[in-house]
Amino acid sequence: MAYDYEKHIRAGKLPHIWCPGCGHGIAMKGLIRALDTCGLEKNNTAIVSGIGCASRLPGYMDYNTLHTAHGRAAAFATGVKMSKPEMNVIVVGGDGDGTAIGGNHFIHACRRNIDMTYVILNNYIYGMTGGQFSPCTPTGHKASTTVYGNPDPIFDISKLAIGAGATFVARTTAFHATQIDKLIAEGIKHKGMAIIEVLDDCPTTYGRRNKFRSVVDMMKRLKEIAVPVAAASKMTAEQLEGKVLTGVLYKEDKPEYTEQYAQVIERAKGA
Amino acid sequence: MSAKAEIEIIERYCKGCSICVEFCPTKVLEMDAFVVKVANADACIACNQCELRCPDFAIKVHKL
Ligand SMILES: Cc1ncc(C[n+]2csc(CCOP(=O)(O)OP(=O)(O)O)c2C)c(N)n1
Ligand code: SF4
Ligand code: SF4
Ligand code: SF4
Ligand SMILES: [Mg+2]
């Protein structure tokens, strides 16, 4: 028997709307395998998103799902977790949703170390709206709004998450399919804010403007730029030029927000 | 050599991206007018690479 993905997908929802070769589907399969590995019950799991192609993902999932406002996934997810701390809360969204309009919610959810797993699909672009540049579009690259090349430096999402206080931060790519579910599963098991950045491909609005002539070229690029953290420690700065580190980048045990808040409630009762 | 898995293609889901064709280590798959087809079934080593990377839930590897 092949893997049964459809057991986790709402009936009649396939084929999905994503373009041919869009990595969001590969990430969705990884998320499904991770939910399975961790044995999460559908009724006790909420998958929350904002707006964007990536944010369409929860709509396919046969779980409790919440498709909210652009950039606000972390805020809604915080509400779910605060009202039902026993629930497993997963956030899925894009680089634009999470680091542009939603950057503020993203960093503060990290700072609070609230127990959720945030899977951020970084395809370097605003895919859904036709390819405007995002805070993750590489410097010099082209977007519909940077036709002469993007002058901005990028946000490194994983570094941003670590700096903001997330206690589990990991990165992989859509090419490294089996690593997606391993890292998401580790993130789910971690108590606190877990960020899993998946470097992804948007052939339609990013690839074609940036000389990746096919989906396969984009996948090969993801394969080539990824360097596992262990291997990177033995490489020179020159060898690491243009590469991105993959694997678990940061892990720390720190007090979790809903537990801290429960103590506040106890103290208030005694006052 | 005999096939180690039976490959099932759900044509209705396949969007013809050719990711599975490119990364199959033994060249089992081929594109046929924007939909993938099994061209060399016997060469399949059941590595699952095609199923893992198909973004469209369109290919299933049934191990034999
Ligand atoms: C308040 C608001 N502003 C702008 C938009 C338009 N909008 C929809 S999706 C999107 C960007 C999505 O980019 P990203 O999160 O990276 O997802 P992708 O489509 O690349 O997967 C924008 C700007 C919106 N829906 N709501
Ligand atoms: S526009 Fe880009 S991100 Fe959106 S579905 Fe198409 S390939 Fe995927
Ligand atoms: S299972 Fe492996 S060998 Fe068989 S078709 Fe898929 S990628 Fe090719
Ligand atoms: S990876 Fe999936 S969608 Fe793409 S050609 Fe192969 S079967 Fe079709
Ligand atoms: Mg994006």
Taking only the tens place, the pLDDT of each residue in A50-82 is 999 999 999 999 999 999 999 999 999 999 999
Burial code of B11-23, b = ≥16 C-beta within 10 A, e = fewer?
eebbbbbbbbbbb
Q: Phi-psi category of B34—alpha, beta or left, where left has phi over 0 and alpha has psi -120 to 50?
A: left
What's residue B18's pLDDT?
A: 97
CB atoms within 10 A of CB A238: 6
Percent of chain A with pLDDT over 90: 98
Q: Do A215 and B13 touch (CB under 8 A)?
A: no
Contact B51/A at CB under 8 A? yes
Residue A212 lies in a domain: yes
If one residue of B18, B28, B29, B37 were mutated to test the ligand 3 pocket, choosing by the most ligand atoms within 8 A of its CB, it would be B28
CB atoms within 10 A of CB B6: 15
Distance A132 CA to ligand 1 centre (A): 9
Q: Which amino acid, residue A60? A: Y
Closest ligand 4 atom, CA of B59? 7
User: What DSSP letter does each residue of A233-266 carry, written as one string?
Assistant: TTS-TTTTTT-EEEEEEEE-----HHHHHHHHHH
Q: Do B17 and A21 touch (CB under 8 A)?
A: yes
Residue A3 lies in a domain: no
Q: What is the 3-state secondary structure of A98-139?
A: HHHHCHHHHHHHHHHCCCEEEEEEECCEECCCCCEECCCCCC
Give the best residue of B53, B59, B63 to mutate against chain A (max A CB count within 10 A).
Answer: B53
Q: Chain B contacts of A19, Cβ < 8 Å?
A: 15
pLDDT at A44 over 80: yes
A85, A257 contact by CB (below 8 A): no
> Which tens digits make up the pLDDT trace of A177-221?
999 999 999 999 999 999 999 999 999 999 999 989 899 999 999
Cα A232 from chain centre = 23
CA distance B42 to A204: 35
Classified as helix, coil or strand, A77 is helix
Cα A74 from chain centre = 12
Q: Which has the closest alpha carbon to A174: A208, A140, A197?
A: A197
What's residue A7's pLDDT?
A: 97
pLDDT at A88 over 90: yes
Residue A123 lies in a domain: yes
CA distance B24 to B3: 14
Q: What is the dihedral of CA A161, A162, A167, A169, to 10 degrees?
A: 70
Residue A50 lies in a domain: yes
User: What DSSP letter does each residue of A183-225 carry, written as one string?
Assistant: HHHHHHHSSSEEEEEEE---IIIIIGGGT--SHHHHHHHHHHH
pLDDT at A1 over 90: no
Is the CB of B18 inside a 6 Å radius of any atom of ligand 4?
yes
pLDDT at A97 over 90: yes
What's residue A103's pLDDT?
A: 98
What CATH number did the domain enclosing A144 receive?
Answer: 3.40.50.970
Closest ligand 4 atom, CA of A21? 4
Q: Chain B contacts of A219, Cβ < 8 Å?
A: 19, 22-23, 53
If one residue of A16, A56, A70, A137 were mutated to test the ligand 1 pocket, choosing by the most ligand atoms within 8 A of its CB, it would be A70
Nearest-Cα distance to chain B for A176, in Å, is 8
Give how many domains chain A has, as a whole number.
Answer: 1
What's residue A108's pLDDT?
A: 98
Give the best residue of A10, A16, A179 to mutate against chain B (max B CB count within 10 A).
Answer: A16
What's residue B1's pLDDT?
A: 73
Work out whether strand A116-122 and strand A193-199 pair parallel, antiparallel, or are unpaired.
parallel
Residue A118 lies in a domain: yes
Residue A6 lies in a domain: no
Residue A120 lies in a domain: yes
> Which tens digits make up the pLDDT trace of B11-42?
999 999 999 999 999 999 999 999 999 999 99
Helices and strands, counts by H and E, chain B = 2, 4
What's residue A3's pLDDT?
A: 97
Q: How far is CA A199 from CA A121, A136, A171, B18, in A?
A: 6, 10, 8, 19
Q: How confident is the model at residue A161 (pLDDT cuts 50, 70, 90)?
A: very high
If one residue of A22, A28, A51, A124 were mutated to test the ligand 1 pocket, choosing by the most ligand atoms within 8 A of its CB, it would be A51
Q: Which has the closest alpha carbon to B10: B62, B48, B57?
A: B57
What's residue A271's pLDDT?
A: 78
Mean pLDDT of chain A: 97
CB atoms within 10 A of CB A265: 9
> Which tens digits make up the pLDDT trace of A209-264?
998 989 999 999 999 999 999 999 999 999 999 999 999 999 999 999 999 999 99
> What value of ipTM does the predicted structure carry?
0.97
Q: Which residue segment(s) compose the domain that A133 sits in?
A: 20-270
Residue A5 lies in a domain: no
What's residue A46's pLDDT?
A: 98
Starting from the CA of residue A52, give the closest ligand: 1
A131, A144 contact by CB (below 8 A): yes
